[in-house]
Amino acid sequence: MRSERLNVPVGVSGQFSAEISLQLFHRMSRVRYFEAGIVDAINKKELSYPVYLSSGPEALAAAPSLLLEDCQIFAQHRAHDLYLCIGGSPERLRDELLGRESGTSQGRAGSNCLQYHGNGINMYGHHGLIGENVPQGVGAALGNKKQTLCVFGDGSAEEDYLPPSLGFAATHKLPILFVCVDNDLSILTPTEVRRNWSIRAVAESFGLPAVDLADDPWALLQAGQGLIGQQPALLNCRVCRSYWHVGAGDDGAPEWDRLQLVRNELKALGLESQAAETEIMAQHEMEIVWDRKLLLKR
């Protein structure tokens, strides 16, 4: 089932303060405008290797970032959004993408292995094998019992080691929130062609509380608040990516654009002018980060 409203409660945005609503929008906007700089760099042939863009599913990073404290994160290969939302430096991410020593991994990892350590959060970069960050996160949680976030895609859910990781986490009652970024595609293959089961059903079979819903940021925040108190737990989030699996190509407009939907909701909440100021601020920040003269000088 593909729907921008899948299992999103009516009126959920009104249950949060204006401050939280604008924080969510600001974090989403920063990701979108940072990646506009990446797309420009790709078009100018300044980036010529595989880049995994996060434009489209930004809400799935923005909402958990407001919940995380003293947390360890095991992210997937598509993690620009999460890195930026938890406080990662956009300048260091830019430099990593451009292969500079000042990047997050000294310019050696590129787009799919982002590190962040600060403000009580430790984000460990993806190491290249699909879904293996999940058992790594389970092992870390077993060892140190710290709050853990494991992020994987709906294609990764089909790897043999993921269901046992859910079961092991359930058996040992580990403090893990598993998040499946479900865009209904494994590169280009829809879920219905690949399998006849859902990751939510698999999680529930192991006794994990599980929620399946669209990427409305307020609904995600509400669901995350509930699931963190019942860990281990799983959040399956339906998203629409703006670009191809790799690179800046596209096949036309996505089924929905969550950033635009959030703009519309903020207007309905009476926050249109504040939202516009917030978006302009994010756009200006990222235009400075990607300043063409700055890039040419370095």
Averaged pLDDT in 10-residue chunks for the chain of 298 residues: 87 97 98 97 90 96 93 95 96 95 92 91 86 94 97 85 95 97 81 84 96 97 95 96 92 93 98 98 96 61
Predicted structure pTM score: 0.94
For residue 239, give the 3-state DSSP assignment. Answer: coil
Alpha carbons 130 and 286: distance in angstroms, whole number: 30
Annotate 59-116 with three-state secondary structure: HHHHHHHCCCCCEEEECCCCCHHHHHHCCCCHHHHHHHHCCCCCCCCCCCCHHHCCCE
Per-state percent for the chain, helix, strand, coil, to nearest 5: 45, 15, 40
Task: Give, for 148, the enclosing helix (H) or strand (E).
Answer: strand 147-153
Chain length of the chain? 298
Neighbours of 162 (CB within 10 A): 24
> What are 54's two structure tokens?
């996060």
Nearest to 142 by CA among 165, 117, 113: 165
What per-residue confidence (pLDDT) applies to 1?
53
> What are 279's two structure tokens?
């978006």
What per-residue confidence (pLDDT) applies to 295?
63
What per-residue confidence (pLDDT) applies to 175?
97
Average pLDDT, the chain: 92
Which DSSP letter does residue 125 get? P
What per-residue confidence (pLDDT) applies to 292?
64
What per-residue confidence (pLDDT) applies to 63?
97
- The CATH number of the domain covering residues in 17-297: 3.40.50.970
Domain ranges (residues) in the chain: 17-297
**53 and 235 Cβ atoms separated by less than 8 Å:** no
